[in-house]
Structure 1
Amino acid sequence: MALSETAAFIYEHLEEAIKVRDKKANTVNEQDNPLGYEKESKLLVGFAIPCIISMLVTALYNIVDQIFIGQGVGMLGNAATNIAFPLSTSCTAISLLLGIGSATNFSLKLGAGEEKESAEYAGNGICLMAIFGIALFAVTTIFLTPMLKFFGATSEVLPYAQEYTRITAIGFPFLIANTGMSKLILADGSPRYSMTSMLVGAIVNTILDPIFIFGLQMGMRGAALATIIGQIVSFGISLRYMFHFKTIRLTKESFHMTGRHIENIFKFGASACFNQIAMTIVQIVLNNTLSHYGAQSVYGGDIPLACAGIITKVNMIFMSFVIGISQGIQPIIGFNYGAEKYERVRKSYLLALGTATVLSGIAFFCFQVFPRQIISVFGSGSELYFQFSERYFRIYMFLTLINGIQPVTSNFFNSIGKSQLGVFMSLTRQILFLLPLIVIFPLFMGIDGVMYAGPIADAAAAIVCGYFMVRELKELSAMDRKKKEEYAA
């Protein structure tokens, strides 16, 4: 056999051996991590349900306080929790920035087989959670009164808001760390543990609320104390897991913070964070708009503040399902995109979107048919109070049916590493559309303008997100075909 023929023979068989090796490697990887081979629907249920419960717990901290405060303190107490709400969303924004940012990098590196890098992103994320939590507590404590006035507090509501926020600020570091670590626990493949850490704290809060508010007659202080005790309990449970990761091992070097790791955490967490920041900004502008134009209407300034706060938190329950689904698919999409399994990425997104849309339909029905019954859970009020609540529910939440598109799509782009598109998607409804509309519409329509701004912003955001998603799905299909053709060759 000629030398050239021998070389060709060896090369051909070597190439075949490499292909066999790669197939075996992929098989081993799939066997090691169910994210690469388990049925998409089963994975979505397994990962989304704990995320939903985790988000529901966050909502319940506010909802439970709102219910007991409404029954024990009254309308001004409900208005006070609405005024303090931007600080809660700020905590969520920081925890999602750092939690989802580190978890996304964790999943992508794990899918690519780089366990050491995964551990470094987890360690850097934990350090950042501690730094940001302490910083927010300090800023809130120092600038408490001017912040609450800026958030729209009236002279009647301000004392209640001060009493409540001064105590809940103590829990900010624990809330940020626990929520952020729960995303890392989820990415590590332990959704039940992530769910448990959040659920136990919510149960503690729910038990302590009536004891402190009614039994010990502590009012707003009681609700705040119950909240931070629940948050500390949840934090302790999550902290324990940080020493028992399944797929990585945290070492001293994992906590060595570097500019590269911090930059990537910020980049991939920015989408979810900006969405929360947008909610915070909108809430502040909304509070001031409702207070200003409410004072010029038959409702007065305090009724719109109290009603809008309740409806915002009721909507948080619905959005907990949608956002939980969008976060639940993050490790599934991140791992499979990193492993170049594009068809699984595509199926996971469509399944999540379909599920979110069904849940949106249920929420739409409840908001349109039972608005008075929902509001009644949070205490009594005048007939004007209920009239405003019913109109606000039915008009502002009219396009709830399509509200699942934006968060699911935004987190999808973030999960596949296209953080800039993810950030843009997260800003569409709140900043690009809703914020200008709630400023402009009331100039011509009074307080009704706030209500009609909601559904118009929902429709515009859904159209923009739909356009970019259709384009991305086509690209994923093309990438999958190309990969199959290369593999067959």
Structure 2
Amino acid sequence: MESSNCLKDFFKYASFNVLGMLGLSCYILADTFFVSKGLGTNGLTALNLAIPFYSFIHGSGLMIGMGGGTKYSIQKSQGAHQQANRTFTNAVFLAACFSVVFILIGIFLAGPVIGLFTSDRDVFAMSETYLRVIMLFAPAFLMNNVLLCFVRNDGAPQLSMAAMICGSLSNIVLDWFFIFPCQMGIFGAVFATGLAPIVSMLILSPHFIRRKNQFHFTKCRPDRIRIIQILSSGIPSLVTEVSSGIVMIVFNSIILTLEGNVGVAAYGVIANLSLVIISIYTGIAQGIQPITSRSYGTGNYHTAKQILRYAMTSMLIISAAIYVFVFLGAEQITSIFNSEHNALLQEIASNGLRLYFIACPFAGFNVIISMYFTSTEYPRPAHIISILRGFLIIIPMAFLLSAAGKIHGIWCSFPATEFIVVIIGILFYQASKKRKKA
């Protein structure tokens, strides 16, 4: 009976979160599709130069939301409701502080930052617009991520899923409306994306209006120790998101020297499809977090391990299906975004898809095992895994393999990195078994 309930909880939380994360990932995929159709290769290049900076916003929101949500779930399972409320209040305070920083960057630094990566006048103008507007919407993105995580840990994963999907659907509809009927260009694309988290929060609002929420604002000063705990638990989520942005910046720079703007546009297709696929693994990981944290908080370590087994099995099945789909449909996937029927873009992206996504099972393992460590208040291995796959291995690997194999080396650097980190993750997990609370 316990095993049956455990499996039921896993499918409930994981399925809702996978669907929600797929919806959330369509924020950028919709931009990619409509920009490619409406603005061509230059628009796709401009979008790909600006998107990495969105990762900093999204990653900061996830860091605060996942870190605060994990702490909240453990405290709630232990009956420490006042402490749980203080955790929520401090999480909102952190989101406000980060929002101010991003707004200032958008106002004063958007142009200089984009100028570091392109001298093309048209590409620069579009990238600068996208970056400035997305930064001004940072408060909405941050607060939406915090509320999604807390509502999920408050026993309402279905509402979090609905909010993420509705936000994404609104983005898709508004993308089309602003770019084509309204002829608003790149501004229309980013404006639609910025409105999406606002729609998402409106969907979440009944949880508070009907007073179903068990977390509340409470009068307290910012607590340095609590803030450090939130950030520490959420750092792997931040590193995962931010590293994807930094890797995109590095890859863009290398690809520009190898294949020019067409190569960057081809990488845009691959990178944005990667966001969708990684979102599936993130959905599984975020789905197991509330159950694992609750089990850990009540001392039920067997259930936590069983949930991890379910997550890994599901990940392997999904990875196999994804790679077969990508391998067989690479040309068709690329043609969707190749509105100008550029033969070079078609060739580069199709070959890249088949090589890049060899990483699927390795990346899935690393995302899930990092969340498991974080959910059981053992964040150090998660920090190391996230930093290794996000910075320390993949960036040198990109330079090394691109020197050896040109553009094909770039595509192979992602699976090579994830495979190395899998070995390290397995060693950490074996070591964690020796801990009394593993």
TM-score over 0.5 for the pair: yes
- Give the Cα–Cα distance (whole angstroms) in 1 for the partners of residues 210 and 96 of structure 2: 19
Q: After TM superposition, list the pairs within 5 Å mapping 1:435-474 onto structure 2.
A: 435-472=395-432, 474=433
Go from structure 1 to structure 2 and tell me whether the alpha carbon gap of 1:154 and 1:59 turns closer, same or farther (over 3 Å shift): farther
Gaps of 5+ in 1: 1-35, 295-300, 481-489
- Give the Cα–Cα distance (whole angstroms) in 2 for the partners of residues 375 and 242 of structure 1: 43
Cα distance, 1:458 vs. partner? Answer: 2.0
* TM-score normalised to structure 2 length: 0.94
2:185 to 219, 242, 245: 219
* Counterpart contact for 2:88–2:215, Cα < 8 Å: no
- Give the Cα–Cα distance (whole angstroms) in 2 for the partners of residues 479 and 61 of structure 1: 39
| Alignment partner, residue 351 of structure 2 | 391
1:201 to 149, 153, 167: 167
* Counterpart contact for 1:104–1:330, Cα < 8 Å: yes
* Counterpart contact for 1:141–1:166, Cα < 8 Å: yes
Which secondary structure state, in structure 2, belongs to the residue aligned with residue 69 of structure 1?
helix
| Alignment partner, residue 62 of structure 1 | 28
* Counterpart contact for 2:68–2:230, Cα < 8 Å: yes
1:145 to 111, 114, 135: 111
Cα distance, 1:60 vs. partner? Answer: 0.5
- Give the Cα–Cα distance (whole angstroms) in 2 for the partners of residues 266 and 245 of structure 1: 28
Q: Give CA-to-partner distance per residue, 1:339-363, whole Å, 9 cap, x none.
A: 1101101101111111111111111
Gaps of 5+ in 2: none
- Give the Cα–Cα distance (whole angstroms) in 2 for the partners of residues 404 and 470 of structure 1: 18
1:126 to 92, 99, 121: 92
1:287 correspondence with 2:247: no
1:177 to 113, 120, 143: 143
* Counterpart contact for 1:405–1:466, Cα < 8 Å: no
Go from structure 1 to structure 2 and tell me whether the alpha carbon gap of 1:231 and 1:245 turns closer, same or farther (over 3 Å shift): same
User: Once structures 1 and 2 are overlaid, which stretch shifts more, 405-414 or 88-97?
Assistant: 88-97
1:364 correspondence with 2:329: no
User: What is the letter of the counterpart of residue 426 of structure 2?
Assistant: G
Which secondary structure state, in structure 2, belongs to the residue aligned with residue 73 of structure 1?
helix
Q: After TM superposition, list the pairs within 5 Å mapping 1:155-194 onto structure 2.
A: 155-194=121-160
Question: Number of residues paired by the alignment?
Answer: 437
1:404 correspondence with 2:404: no
- Whose Rg is larger? 1
User: What do you get for the CA RMSD once the two structures are aligned?
Assistant: 2.2
* Counterpart contact for 1:80–1:153, Cα < 8 Å: no
Cα distance, 1:236 vs. partner? Answer: 3.4
Go from structure 1 to structure 2 and tell me whether the alpha carbon gap of 1:464 and 1:152 turns closer, same or farther (over 3 Å shift): farther
Cα distance, 1:440 vs. partner? Answer: 2.2
Q: Give CA-to-partner distance per residue, 1:161-196, whole Å, 9 cap, x none.
A: 123233233222101110121001101111111112
Q: Give CA-to-partner distance per residue, 1:270-292, whole Å, 9 cap, x none.
A: 11111222212211111111112
Go from structure 1 to structure 2 and tell me whether the alpha carbon gap of 1:345 and 1:153 turns closer, same or farther (over 3 Å shift): farther
User: Once structures 1 and 2 are overlaid, which stretch shifts more, 397-406 or 351-360?
Assistant: 397-406
Cα distance, 1:240 vs. partner? Answer: 5.6
Q: After TM superposition, list the pairs within 5 Å mapping 1:28-47 onto structure 2.
A: 39-47=5-13
- Give the Cα–Cα distance (whole angstroms) in 1 for the partners of residues 63 and 270 of structure 2: 26
Which secondary structure state, in structure 2, belongs to the residue aligned with residue 93 of structure 1?
helix
| Alignment partner, residue 339 of structure 1 | 298
- Give the Cα–Cα distance (whole angstroms) in 2 for the partners of residues 133 and 38 of structure 1: 43
| Alignment partner, residue 210 of structure 1 | 176
- Give the Cα–Cα distance (whole angstroms) in 1 for the partners of residues 193 and 214 of structure 2: 32
User: What is the letter of the counterpart of residue 135 of structure 1?
Assistant: V
Cα distance, 1:241 vs. partner? Answer: 3.6
User: What is the letter of the counterpart of residue 129 of structure 1?
Assistant: A
Cα distance, 1:323 vs. partner? Answer: 0.6
Cα distance, 1:338 vs. partner? Answer: 1.1
Go from structure 1 to structure 2 and tell me whether the alpha carbon gap of 1:245 and 1:85 turns closer, same or farther (over 3 Å shift): farther
1:263 correspondence with 2:233: no
- Give the Cα–Cα distance (whole angstroms) in 1 for the partners of residues 23 and 117 of structure 2: 24
- Give the Cα–Cα distance (whole angstroms) in 2 for the partners of residues 443 and 71 of structure 1: 33
| Alignment partner, residue 110 of structure 1 | 76
| Alignment partner, residue 335 of structure 2 | 376
| Alignment partner, residue 277 of structure 1 | 242
* TM-score normalised to structure 1 length: 0.84
Go from structure 1 to structure 2 and tell me whether the alpha carbon gap of 1:251 and 1:230 turns closer, same or farther (over 3 Å shift): closer
Q: In percent, how many aligned pairs have the same letter?
A: 24
Cα distance, 1:437 vs. partner? Answer: 0.8
User: What is the letter of the counterpart of residue 32 of structure 2?
Assistant: Q
- Give the Cα–Cα distance (whole angstroms) in 1 for the partners of residues 213 and 169 of structure 2: 30
User: What is the letter of the counterpart of residue 235 of structure 1?
Assistant: M
* Counterpart contact for 2:106–2:133, Cα < 8 Å: no
User: What is the letter of the counterpart of residue 162 of structure 1?
Assistant: E
